[in-house]
Structure formats: C-alpha cells, structure tokens
Structure 1
C-alpha cells in the first residue's frame, strides 16, 4: 500500500525547467552536492555517480564491475539478500545500481517520513556488501544467461564487432558485461576488489531533489558516504577511433542483417559540440524526418528505422549509427548511408532541416524534467561534464544560436564518408568484407 502511494507521488512531481533552482553546496565532509528543494511532496530523490565504472575492469576480468553491481543489493551487514529486500520494501524505498563504461550510478528514492532509516540502509549496502556465495552464483547465472542469449542476437554481434574494431585493446572495445569465459572465472575476491576500486570519493558526483533543506541534504550525504574510500585507480587514457573505413561482416544466419556504422566523433568540450548535436539530429536523431529515415525508409523502403548518436565517453568519442535491412537490400542501404554522409559533408544541410531540428530539440528538452529522480540524474550528468548550474535555463539558447553556417562548417569538418566503418551481422548479398 505504501509503495502505491509512493508511485503516485512520483507521478505528481513534474516541475518545469524554469522552476528548477539548483543550489551548489559542499558538505562538511568535503563532498560537492547539487540540490533542488521541492517541499510540496514528502519524498526525496538522490543520484550518485562514481567516475570510473566498468572501464576499471582489470585485464582478463571483464564483467567484474557488472557482476559486482548486481550484488550490491543482495545482502549487506548482518542482512542476507532476503532480509535486505524485506527491510527496503518495508521502508517503501527504491534503490537501483547500474554500471556504465565510465561510472557507477546509484539511484535512491525515499519518503520523508522514514528518510533516516532509508539512508542508513543504503549506507549499509555501500559500505558492508556481503557478496555471499549463494548470491554470487545466483546473479552470475543471470548474467551468463544474458550473455548466452546475446550471442544469438545479430544486433549484439554487430555491436561487439564494431566497438572491438573501434577501440581495440581498450575496455571500450569489449562488452562491459564480459564474456561467458571471463564471468565464469570471476571470484568473490575479484568482486570485492572491483567494489573497492570503483566506489570512492574521488570523482564522486551527487544530486538531490525533494523535501529537504540544504542543511539536511549536506548532513544526509555525509552520513551516506561515511566510510567510502578516498580514492582508487584511474581509467586508461584517451583513445582514438581506430577502425578503418569499410565493411566488416559477421556471418550469421538471419533473413535481415543489422549494421552498426560510424567513425571518430566529437567531445563535449569542443566548441562545435552544439552544432554537431544539431547536425546529428538532422542526420539520424529522433523522429521520422531525419535525412537517413527519409532516404532509407520513406523513399526506398530499405529499413524500418535508422538512427545516429554522438557517443562521448570519458576518454573517447564516436559518431555511431544503426539500421537493419533485408539481406538482399543491405548493400543498397550501405551505399545510401555513404551517399548521405558525402552529401552532408559537401553540401551541408538545408535551412528547413536546421529549423526543424532546432524546433524539436528545444521543444523536447523540458520534457526531460519529468520528475525528481530525472532532475537528480540530469544534475549529476551536468556535473560530470563540467556544465554550470544555470545550463538548464540557457541550454535552449545554445541550440537556437546554432546557425546554418555553423552546422555546415561542422558537417564538412567531422563527417568523413570514406572513413565510415560498417559492422554487419547477417548474410548480406552483394557485400564483401573489405576490412582485414
């Protein structure tokens, strides 16, 4: 019953961007914290990111961070997994843990009435994880089942080939979930070491939204993070996109091939990033009006959908796209993508495309602030890429300021049709491997 009430409160918490007033605080313990006070509803959303993530997996132990993360809520202190879940449910608290290539994400939602108890339970999970043998084997079996299923999905096979070629020898080049072999070999000691390496105060970012004051928030964060180690190992340095232009085929028996394609990208800190983001929306962002959707789907019926994204890791950048097409039409689809890339690089975008992209991007931005938890996540993301607190107010003005000249200059600068690398899983007709 309490959990249903909590869900209803979450749905009601939808402040507009203009109402988001971010306070930047530092706790007595020295932790930086961004806070949005919202006292109209009695709950709090908390987001914590620890920089490092799965990229800190040691060589030969790929998947350690992923398996470790799945075990944080599987017992801590004197509570086994069942006891911990019972305690959390009794508080109507919601905790989630997820590891990415560059960060460990910890999300928590709790009612004001039992906030102290919920914080104490989460603190226990973050400082006294048990990694019981039965829990390790149960979660390991789940991970292994997922890895085995992934080997039968062409999209996964294409993605694995793409990133392995793009970032060879680097953690970005392999699946953060690991392989059947690496996950099967992980020991309890490996998981304990992964936990110690990743969850440290160094590179820690915190966002809180909801029914608490600045004084309460700083005290809460210090209590929650008490006992967390000060520092740990650092991830490997910057790596450039290494895959050469061409086609790389993963033979897989399926009537429809799946392609992952791309080349070197652009970073957050680049002064042309906003122009590149608008360009990406025009090429293959959200919606049916992108150039790739028009050329591949609407005009030729070669695919149901096509998309592109700017991938920005802590230590690498890429422009990455994907689409699926029947084996008999994949070769034509690849040529269409190359032609679109070349046309943008040479001729740029149209004024109509630019205005449509800017209208979409400025219109959808406020919709991201659809609850306290989402606002907390946005604030942490902003901190991680060194954006100022008032970015939420001015972000759309940065998009509006992008001119046709800006986009076309950036298109000529970053789009390299000859460098497009296609990893294709399937049995496409009329295409041969051109990448050794």
Structure 2
C-alpha cells in the first residue's frame, strides 16, 4: 500500500492511496473541534449539525438534495466526536464531479431551512427520550459528567431537551463558520483517483472555507482523582456499570504497552482476564469489557459490565480485585505472547476495504503520525516486554482512582446514592 502526500494548488494537503481496480473512491475528513466546541447552553449543536448537512444546500431543498444524492449513488454522512467533526464521502468515478459539488454545497452552503431544522430537532428529541431510558447511555453520560466535571468532556454530546430546544439555524451556521476551516482540516482519500484529480477536488470542496478556525481553547485534563461510586436509580432488572480512570496520552511511550495490557485485561473478548473471572468462572455477567481511549485533551481507561441487580456488587468486587492484581504485577508471559499474536495478526484486517483504509489513515492523521507508522506499528507491539506491562499496570491501574457509575437498582453493601 503506497501512501502519497498530495498538496492541492490551493495548499490543502491530503493522503492518497490510489486503487484503480474498482471505479470508486472513498474520502474521509475531519475538522478539529467536535462537541468540545459546543457553546455553553448549546450542548448538542455539533451533533445537530451532523444531522443537518444533507438536509438541503445551495438551491436544493431537503427532499431535492436527498433525491440528487440517490440519483448519483453517492454516500455522504457526518458525525461528531468529542474532539472532531467527521465527514464520510464515497462516490463512483463516473459521478465524481457531480458528487463533489454536492459535498461542497453541504459543507459551504447548507440551507438550514426552518422546516428541516424543526423536523431533525424532533428526531433528536425522540432519540434523547429513548437514551434516557437506556441504562448503558445513561451510565456513560453520568460517568463522563463525574470524571470531567467542569470540563467540556463532561457535557452530553447529544445535548439536553433544554439545549436542543434553543438551537436554531443561526446557531448551526455559527458553529459551522467557526469550526469548518482549512487550518484544522485533515483529509485522506482511497480509490480510483489520481493525485492531480484529488488536488483539484480538494480545492473544489474545501477551497472556499476560511483559512483559520475560531476554536475556543480546551484545557488538557485528567479524570478527577479519588475513588467514587455513584448510583443512578432506574427500574430495570439488570444493572449497568461503567468504570474507569485516567490513562496515558497517545504519544506517551507507555501507550502501546497500555494498549497490550488492555487486550489482556478486558479488550480481548473471551480471551480476557475479566471475562474469564466474571463470566466463565462465576457466571456473574454475560459481558465485561475494557478499552484505552486517548482523546485529544485527556485519556481514559474505561470499561463496563451488565448483570442482575443482586450480582452487581460481587461483579464490581471481582473487577477491582483483577485490576489490583495486575497493578501488583500478576502478569504472565503467556498472556503477553497471546495478546501480541492477536494484535499483530488482526491489524491487516483494518485495511481490507477502501473505506477501512481511509478510516485508519484519517485516525493516524488526527493523531499526528506520519504514514510510516503503519509499517512500524506491529514492531512496536512486538517490542513490549513483561516488565513494560508490569510498569504500566502499576502506573495506570490505581483502584484508588476508580470512578464507577451504576444505573439500575443494584444491591450493594455500601451504595452511594445519586438521584437520577
């Protein structure tokens, strides 16, 4: 796989993997920002915008825009994350000029007609009402609200009924104008397109955007220190818990060992220690998992478990015990070897379609890696030693800082109740 760096005549840079066997291309792009840029009182505006960009643009009203997309057999969608606003675009080669124009209109001339805004708002309100009854969603939101209190990461990305109710087309346009710019843009393309064609396309789509974004500063932070356990009361037969603490940033030398450690602890499905101890040996839960996720302004080690109300306390006790055992150095070479084998062997599967390749490359660009990382990545995994794992486990898995949010009616020895 040859990754080329393309710079348009207008100075917009992108990574390109040419693949001309199939007459189509995939483009992935992102603007730094995301829901962390939602203004106070407008929580959910980035998420709202992601649902509005294909609801009419230029001279095309919503239904006309949707019909035109269908006629061109193109795919275009948008999504927000905490730190970025993402765009996904796929087109057949024969329709690329027309599809490119549609993407440009969506990014630079969205209409935000009142009827479309109101219709999407009602859909988002309905989603909020559904999420409020979903213990998994509630647990995740409450965990971030607790862990990052006072920081933009604490706010609900989907907004609230109150904040969504205040958002109009003017607020959507204000966010777009602040965040969509050339200096915070990352682009990758994979498929049937040459560097020259891509350079022209980059200027066609993004050339009219402002040179500089107007992003509000977001501070580097960590989850709050100190163990906490909060319960949100919900009348469900099975409780859900989200647990976690701080982790190391993506550029930290210990991140790769932490990534391997997580595979052993809870990221490896049925091969993980938590699955073995909580489900296989004791039958306490159907699933238990963990992950390490580096945001741009913080990093977290987090996980979750769902089980009967009367089993939640015992399940969390086992999870804490396993975290502590690893922090104390209870790790085996065999587990490390198995984790390495899986992580290195599965890596090529992330690159078996154009869309997957584009997604992986955009992730590297967002983390400020160069293309050579793909060739180095498995060697970095292989270089992790048992001593590395023990050092990182001691550094990261401090149960004195474990934050736990439980949603349901769990039976706990010493619950710390929180209204919900």
TM-score (norm 2): 0.97
The question of 1:425 aligning with 2:404 is answered no
| Preserved contact between residue 56 and residue 197 of structure 1 (Cα < 8 Å) | no
The answer for the alignment partner of 1:21 in structure 2 is 2
Structure 1 residues without counterparts, runs of 5 or longer: 1-19
Of 194, 202, 209 in structure 1, the residue corresponding to residue 190 of structure 2 is: 209
Q: What secondary structure is seen at the aligned counterpart in 1 of 2:270?
A: coil
CA distance in structure 2 between the aligned counterparts of 1:182 and 1:380, rounded to whole angstroms: 31
| Preserved contact between residue 269 and residue 289 of structure 2 (Cα < 8 Å) | no
The answer for the alignment partner of 1:360 in structure 2 is 342
| Preserved contact between residue 184 and residue 213 of structure 2 (Cα < 8 Å) | no
The question of 1:87 aligning with 2:68 is answered yes
CA distance in structure 2 between the aligned counterparts of 1:124 and 1:209, rounded to whole angstroms: 22
| Preserved contact between residue 200 and residue 228 of structure 1 (Cα < 8 Å) | yes
The question of 1:392 aligning with 2:374 is answered yes
The question of 1:312 aligning with 2:313 is answered no
The answer for the alignment partner of 2:134 in structure 1 is 153
CA distance in structure 1 between the aligned counterparts of 2:409 and 2:60, rounded to whole angstroms: 51
Matches within 5 A, 1:237-386: 237-242=219-224, 244-386=226-368
The answer for the alignment partner of 1:5 in structure 2 is none
Q: What secondary structure is seen at the aligned counterpart in 1 of 2:378?
A: helix
Matches within 5 A, 1:172-251: 172-234=153-215, 235-242=217-224, 244-251=226-233
| Preserved contact between residue 46 and residue 109 of structure 1 (Cα < 8 Å) | yes
Matches within 5 A, 1:121-140: 121-140=102-121
The Cα shift of 1:32 comes to 1.4
The answer for the alignment partner of 1:9 in structure 2 is none
CA distance in structure 2 between the aligned counterparts of 1:78 and 1:25, rounded to whole angstroms: 32
CA distance in structure 2 between the aligned counterparts of 1:85 and 1:243, rounded to whole angstroms: 48
The question of 1:117 aligning with 2:76 is answered no
Matches within 5 A, 1:36-55: 36-55=17-36
Q: What secondary structure is seen at the aligned counterpart in 2 of 1:336?
A: helix
CA distance in structure 1 between the aligned counterparts of 2:379 and 2:360, rounded to whole angstroms: 18
The Cα shift of 1:156 comes to 1.6
Q: What secondary structure is seen at the aligned counterpart in 2 of 1:318?
A: strand
Shift in alpha-carbon separation, 1:431–1:81, aligned structure 2, 3 A: farther
TM-score (norm 1): 0.93
| Preserved contact between residue 348 and residue 412 of structure 1 (Cα < 8 Å) | no
Number of aligned residue pairs = 417
The answer for the alignment partner of 1:12 in structure 2 is none
Q: What secondary structure is seen at the aligned counterpart in 2 of 1:137?
A: helix
The answer for the alignment partner of 2:11 in structure 1 is 30
CA distance in structure 1 between the aligned counterparts of 2:179 and 2:385, rounded to whole angstroms: 42
The Cα shift of 1:394 comes to 2.1
The answer for the alignment partner of 1:69 in structure 2 is 50
| Preserved contact between residue 69 and residue 97 of structure 1 (Cα < 8 Å) | yes
